Structure 1
Amino acid sequence: MERCSDADVLVTTRNSDVLSQMNAVHVKEMRKLRDLDALELLLKRSFRTKDEIHVFSDIGAKIVQKCDGLPLAIKVIGGVLSSRSTKEEWERILATRWSIVGLPKDIEGPLYLSYSDLSPQLKQCFLWCALLPQNFKIHRDVTYWWISEGFVKEENSGPLHNIAEDYYHELIKRNLLQARPEYIDKGISTMHDLLRSLGQYLSRNEAVFMNGMHDHCPPRIRRLGVGNAVEEIPAIEEKKSLRCLVVLHHDTCRSVKKDIFRKMVHLRILVLAGAGLQNIPASLGDLVLLRLLDVSYNEINELPGSIGKLTSLEFLSVLGCTKLAALPASLMRLTTISFLQIENTGLAQVPKGIGNFRQMDNLRSVFQNGVSGLKLDELGALSRIRRLWVIRLETATPPTAPILCNKEYLKELGLRCTMDKEASRRTHYPDNAVKRIEEVYEKLCPPPSLRYIFVDGFPGGTFPKWLSSEPQNLLPNVAHMHFYDCISCPNLPPAGQLPLLQVLHVKGADAVVSIGGELLGNGVVFETHTTAFPKLVLLEVLDMYNWESWSLSTDNLSDNIVEPVSQQLSLMPSLMRLRLVNCPKLRALPEDLHRISNLQRIHLEGAHSVEEIGNHPGVVWLKVENNMSLRRISNFPKLRLLLAQDCPELQEAENLSSLKVLYVVDCPVEQVLWKCFPEEQRNMLVRVVTSGAHSQDIYPLQSVFH
């Protein structure tokens, strides 16, 4: 720990030489896991049940000894063992060779074994991820890159993209990718730097990520990644064996040689994201084998017409190219395209012909605008579509018939009208336009296969029937539901009826004053189903400036519900995280919230009318920020981390007996709050007090007790 004038700097390293170079004040050496803790972690990561523990304990103890108490090693071996159901299979793993000649010491043993246990396809996908920068957030869309490389093999289990996503989740299950905990669906992950080192070592003769330190390109390189630390991109046109080029956030590529692509005839993947490009030469059309082109976040104002020659192209992204005003007509001839991402561009309209892309799997964001542009009816031809975002729906005319209800592969749907996000400058449409928009939404009823629904900027007074009337029948598989700036609907849809809903996010619903039983569902449903939100894990409500009251009571449900069932109604039994931000008129959290025993994390911010919060027996993490009236926090018996920022009236803290860390930022009565704790607890409590100037230091602590 190095002492600074106003803050401490925490540095983690595996290299002891770093400590001497930094003149560290305090060194904390992280010890290896004890044998019992290591065995418990192994059994947990291999998904053994309580009844199986005694069967695998002896052999498990021998395996963790070979892991030398290292958590990462135990996790990845647990991933290997998760598919082995007998003791004999575990013994074979123990007897397997855990290394190869020449493997560096820090990546041999369990890490190598976890790689060698993969199928040939998964090995290639794992090595590909090692090409990305350190700490890179790996989105599930990495699967499109794997498909472009030919790593994903067709099976009888469904479309290629579904198989690729199975690969992605298998790497997470085996702990070779680590899912970011804030993403419930595991849609974002990272790769541990030791696993990345393993991947880079194993692929060192054909794949390199250049970061400006001791960079060397093998003569027969097939995959090249270039980071922003590299001062000059090498002469890539001479690398004739190159199959994949990934340049990320390297803004020195403003001009590209006219003939740069003519020698790179074997290129399958070209990623030039955030590279500062102002033009793309016509020689792009010479890349006849190119399957994926990503030129996101560049300054280009057009794509060359020669793109129409790329008859193998399947994936195209121009995300964030705000100067791009039009797509070339030649693009519409490429019927092989299955992924088209055109969000946040300067496009005025999409040319007609989208309906010809019969292989289209992912379309973001398509829109109708003007007489010559796309018509919604064209989307009816996209029978294989899995992810679809349609924007500027205020310009659309209702399709002649429902166009989405028969899309059996559709998993994600985003519907957006243009809406000013500032509450004081909301976009208001005339009544006739609102009526037409409501008709459009009604005709966009999705199929039962849908898992993600995003409704953004809807100006209507009532949600479409497929959302507001028994959605459990029409949307039985929805797991993520997001409502942004639906400004005129006074009631939210009855999302409590959805049997698989895991995430509910509501933002900017200006007309909502009260939330009660209507969110849980009507009484007829609960005569036979006695659980509301049975799978909900995360509930987020943001920017609800007129919301005053919140009740989880069933008193105002339909009179058809019978009294015994009402008393037995279970509410959100799986809820773990609650986040309420900028709800200034909300007077209190619902009393029944204490019945949710799984709730572990609460974030309350900008709730200026809430005076106290308490009675949450399972919560271990609490953040209260910018709550002008909050004066009391009480009865959190398991709370371990409390973060309090800009709460000027906060003076009382009671029954926080398990608290380990108290982090206070800009709370004038901090000394009063400190005295609320018994002296013996104060002696054990980690207490951090800082000002708003350093309040960003609070955020790394959010995951301490996650």
Structure 2
Amino acid sequence: REIDMLKDIGVQILAKCDGLPLAVKVMGGLLCQKDKIHREWEMVLSDSIWSISGMPEELNHALYLSYEDLSSSAKQCFLLYSLLPKTAVFFRDEIIGMWISEGFLHGTLDDLEELGSKYYKELILRNLIEPDAEFIDQSVCNMHDVVRSFAQFVARDEALAAHSGETNIVSKLSAQKLLRFSLEEKALESDVLDWSSLQAQKTLRTLILVGHINIKPRDSLVHFPCLRTLHIAFSHVVALLESLHELKHLRYLSLEHTDISILPDSIGKMKFLQYISLRGCHQFVDLPRSIVKLGQLRHLNFSGTSINNIPRGFCVLTNLRALRGFPARVDGDWCSLEELGPLSFLEDLEFDGLENITDSSSAAKAKLGDKVHLTSLFLNCGSILEDDGLIKEEDCVSEEKQQQIEKVFEELCPPPRLENLDIKGYFGRWLPRWMMSSSAVALKSLRILFITDLACCKQLPDGLCQLPYLEFIQINRAPAIKRVGPEFTQSYHQHSPRPSQMVAAFPRLEKIKLIGMVEWEEWEWEEQVQAFPVLQELMLKQCKLKCLPPGLASQARALNTLYIYNVQGLISLENFPSLVLLELDENLDLERITNLPRLQELTILNCTKLKVLEGVPALHRLVLSYNDMETIPEYMKGINPRHLELYCSLALLVSIAAGQSGSEWDKFGHVEHVKAYAREGGNSRKWYVFYTAKPYSLETNVSHSFMLKGRNLDFF
């Protein structure tokens, strides 16, 4: 009965959303936060906000309701998020760092990041921000334009978000005293905003600038005494460094992708600094000794810099939660791995240049296993692989060097709480024991694994299949691997004599990408071996795999998305009952695709030997593109996609444009919608034909005389 009542109220709430998809999503997110009881939903339905008339366009009723339901702290976090420049990428830890710096998070000093993560997840659950699918683990989100406009309208009295192309930025800055200002600048340097235009904003607490701004030699930060958050990216900022220490209240300093090479020694005076990011500052080489005076530092990011000096005494920064791009060194007057030992609160740690460590005892003194809060670990060596994925001749490593790096990685065994592991450039012959077999218990909480440029290992880690929470694997470039054997999918549980005790390998893995394993020829996985029960997405790219293993089709019953790019030797693809989306590119030996009963979307690019495509009754959309396609493939006569998109030669396009009188009609005339293109120069859609079966319609920009001549242009 209660469920029926909720359903009735839900339908009435849905009606108030006026059919707007975003409003429906936001209301769904709001209702998810409520208890599933009649009274809670009734309060949402009867809220007075629905009846407000004459609201500005930005104040969408559903958004207003969801916003008002947030706690006061979450409201502030949401409004600040809306100021972030739209096309720039901001990671979760950056955003949470801003929230902490602004004082929006009210908790103990030990749990601020955790509290920030809670608010971040709440905004996702309410559909106020949306995870970007390109980034794993929701580390980057986007904000819908309507949501952004709403939030900026609400914050309009104290915040301004501007972007290049606006003509009245300076006048707005002159007319209003702001607490927060952001600017995304893409204009030419002659058209950009002058730094001096900002100097009247003496009450600013947050300043976010992405893109070039005109900073002159005598420009200064002295005009912003209240500033807590300063984020400048992709600009020239060296002139401002001399006055940096004037920002007495600054908590958050991010100068990403700028031209700085050092930080001034006076930074040691900035006692409140909690967050410093110099990510992508390629010229940055030196950290001043005074850095060790910043006892409140929680986050340091040197990723993508050329830093070669971190001063001794770094171990006193015991409040650090995140340390990225830490350079591994053994000689000279700088900080060693040993000084990381006391940093027990670290949650996120990245090492660079681990090939420089000659003594494994130095790695042991970093005490990774004791860092019980550590959830993300990045272990980086310099790559010895060429662009083609093979080892550089001049970088062939000695057996001694391989043994050395093996011992170093062995000592960097993480604590059991680790969730994200990223390994780059490892050139040992064997992966560390803590990734293999029963020793992989050290990774029992692992959810995400990246391994890039695995130069010399001949075997993938055989302990992964036992991990209970592993969701994502990406192996990128592993030229020594020629075979993936049964040890990859054979869980030790499966040796149990009783079938009822058999446990599927990789029980929670949803996505796996195997890229650039250029010598990989064989994948052994027998049909009866249970593995990958919830696998949804698989990518195979740049390898020599001659056939897909029987176990993949029979056991990966949730597999709905398959990408196969540049796989040499693969002849057939068949019998995948759950596949919905399939993309193929540069598979030059592929001849057959059969028995994919649920397939809806199929993209075939440059698979020139493909002759058989059948058993695809649910096919909705087919994209075909060959560089020199002269005829539509014969298999089109036997299939009936609703939409067909072709990229072909101009000669073929002329035949298609002829419609029923053309030689290709019997291959496409039965398709409901057809879009065909041929290119000229760099324009892949210069010439086109648009066809609809019912009612009959054929539109083209290929002229009648052009069709009569059957002209074939040499430049095509």
Q: For residues 138 and 296 of structure 1, do their structure 2 counterparts lie closer, same or farther at Cα, with a shift above 3 Å needed?
A: closer
Q: 2:443 aligns with which of 475, 487, 497?
A: 475
Q: Deviations over 1:90-112 (max 9, x none)?
A: 00110112266763135321111
Q: Would the aligned equivalents of 1:404 and 1:444 in 2 still touch at CA under 8 Å?
A: yes
The corresponding residue for 2:154 is 202
Q: 2:477 aligns with which of 502, 508, 512?
A: 508
Cα offset, 1:241, TM superposition: 0.5
How many Å separate the matches in 1 of 2:491 and 2:17? 54
146-155 or 345-354, larger mean C-alpha shift? 345-354
The corresponding residue for 1:240 is 202
Q: Would the aligned equivalents of 1:648 and 1:669 in 2 still touch at CA under 8 Å?
A: no
The corresponding residue for 1:375 is 336
Q: For residues 106 and 242 of structure 1, do their structure 2 counterparts lie closer, same or farther at Cα, with a shift above 3 Å needed?
A: closer
The corresponding residue for 1:105 is 57
Q: 1:418 aligns with which of 382, 386, 395?
A: 382
Check if 1:219 corresponds to 2:176: yes
Q: Would the aligned equivalents of 2:577 and 2:595 in 1 still touch at CA under 8 Å?
A: yes
How many Å separate the matches in 2 of 1:468 and 1:306? 48
Q: Would the aligned equivalents of 1:665 and 1:689 in 2 still touch at CA under 8 Å?
A: no
Q: Deviations over 1:58-81 (max 9, x none)?
A: 111111010111111111111111
The aligned runs of 1:540-619 (5 Å cut-off) are: 540-553=513-526, 567=528, 569-583=529-543, 585-595=544-554, 596-619=556-579
Q: For residues 679 and 530 of structure 1, do their structure 2 counterparts lie closer, same or farther at Cα, with a shift above 3 Å needed?
A: closer
Query: Which residue identity does 2:326 align to in structure 1?
Result: V
How many Å separate the matches in 2 of 1:328 and 1:631? 62
Q: Deviations over 1:482-529 (max 9, x none)?
A: 111111111111211111000011111121111122112453565355
Q: For residues 612 and 688 of structure 1, do their structure 2 counterparts lie closer, same or farther at Cα, with a shift above 3 Å needed?
A: farther
Query: Which residue identity does 2:42 align to in structure 1?
Result: E
Q: For residues 220 and 508 of structure 1, do their structure 2 counterparts lie closer, same or farther at Cα, with a shift above 3 Å needed?
A: same
Query: Which residue identity does 2:414 align to in structure 1?
Result: P
SS of residue in 2 equivalent to 1:61? helix
How many Å separate the matches in 2 of 1:675 and 1:180? 36
Cα offset, 1:670, TM superposition: 5.6
The corresponding residue for 1:54 is 4
The corresponding residue for 1:624 is 584
Q: Would the aligned equivalents of 1:386 and 1:409 in 2 still touch at CA under 8 Å?
A: yes
Q: For residues 356 and 72 of structure 1, do their structure 2 counterparts lie closer, same or farther at Cα, with a shift above 3 Å needed?
A: same
Check if 1:149 corresponds to 2:149: no
Cα offset, 1:332, TM superposition: 2.5
- TM-score (structure 2 length as normaliser): 0.84
Q: Would the aligned equivalents of 1:354 and 1:378 in 2 still touch at CA under 8 Å?
A: yes
Check if 1:445 corresponds to 2:413: yes
Query: Which residue identity does 2:561 align to in structure 1?
Result: R
Runs (5+) with no aligned partner, structure 2: 643-667, 687-716
The aligned runs of 1:629-648 (5 Å cut-off) are: 629-648=589-608
The corresponding residue for 1:384 is 345
Q: Would the aligned equivalents of 2:295 and 2:319 in 1 still touch at CA under 8 Å?
A: yes
The aligned runs of 1:356-371 (5 Å cut-off) are: 356-369=316-329, 370-371=331-332
Q: Deviations over 1:321-343 (max 9, x none)?
A: 11122112222221221111111
Q: Deviations over 1:377-416 (max 9, x none)?
A: 1111111000001110111132354611111110000111
Q: For residues 680 and 414 of structure 1, do their structure 2 counterparts lie closer, same or farther at Cα, with a shift above 3 Å needed?
A: closer
Q: For residues 524 and 658 of structure 1, do their structure 2 counterparts lie closer, same or farther at Cα, with a shift above 3 Å needed?
A: closer
The aligned runs of 1:215-294 (5 Å cut-off) are: 215=169, 216-217=172-173, 219-229=176-186, 231-233=192-194, 235-250=197-212, 252-253=213-214, 255-258=216-219, 260-294=220-254
Cα offset, 1:531, TM superposition: 1.3
Cα offset, 1:355, TM superposition: 1.4
Cα offset, 1:229, TM superposition: 4.3
Q: Deviations over 1:441-481 (max 9, x none)?
A: 11111001100011111111111111113255211110001
Q: 2:29 aligns with which of 73, 79, 82?
A: 79
Q: Would the aligned equivalents of 2:29 and 2:126 in 1 still touch at CA under 8 Å?
A: yes
Query: Which residue identity does 2:594 align to in structure 1?
Result: S
394-403 or 238-247, larger mean C-alpha shift? 394-403
SS of residue in 1 equivalent to 2:487? helix
Runs (5+) with no aligned partner, structure 1: 1-50, 555-566, 698-706
Q: Would the aligned equivalents of 1:540 and 1:580 in 2 still touch at CA under 8 Å?
A: yes
Cα offset, 1:223, TM superposition: 0.5
How many Å separate the matches in 2 of 1:52 and 1:651? 57
SS of residue in 2 equivalent to 1:653? strand
Cα offset, 1:350, TM superposition: 2.4
Query: Which residue identity does 2:181 align to in structure 1?
Result: L
Q: Would the aligned equivalents of 1:107 and 1:194 in 2 still touch at CA under 8 Å?
A: no
SS of residue in 2 equivalent to 1:587? coil
Q: For residues 78 and 618 of structure 1, do their structure 2 counterparts lie closer, same or farther at Cα, with a shift above 3 Å needed?
A: same
Cα offset, 1:696, TM superposition: 11
Q: Would the aligned equivalents of 2:211 and 2:234 in 1 still touch at CA under 8 Å?
A: yes
Q: 2:369 aligns with which of 396, 400, 405?
A: 405
The corresponding residue for 2:139 is 187
Q: For residues 640 and 374 of structure 1, do their structure 2 counterparts lie closer, same or farther at Cα, with a shift above 3 Å needed?
A: same
Q: Deviations over 1:576-595 (max 9, x none)?
A: 11111111x11111122123
SS of residue in 1 equivalent to 2:540? strand
Q: For residues 532 and 52 of structure 1, do their structure 2 counterparts lie closer, same or farther at Cα, with a shift above 3 Å needed?
A: farther
How many Å separate the matches in 2 of 1:669 and 1:442? 57
Q: 2:260 aligns with which of 295, 300, 303?
A: 300
Q: Would the aligned equivalents of 2:295 and 2:318 in 1 still touch at CA under 8 Å?
A: yes
How many Å separate the matches in 2 of 1:544 and 1:233? 50
Q: Would the aligned equivalents of 2:418 and 2:446 in 1 still touch at CA under 8 Å?
A: yes
Identical positions, percent: 30
Q: 2:633 aligns with which of 672, 693, 698?
A: 672
Query: Which residue identity does 2:553 align to in structure 1?
Result: H
How many Å separate the matches in 1 of 2:211 and 2:672? 43
Q: 1:429 aligns with which of 378, 382, 397?
A: 397
- TM-score (structure 1 length as normaliser): 0.85
Cα offset, 1:549, TM superposition: 0.7
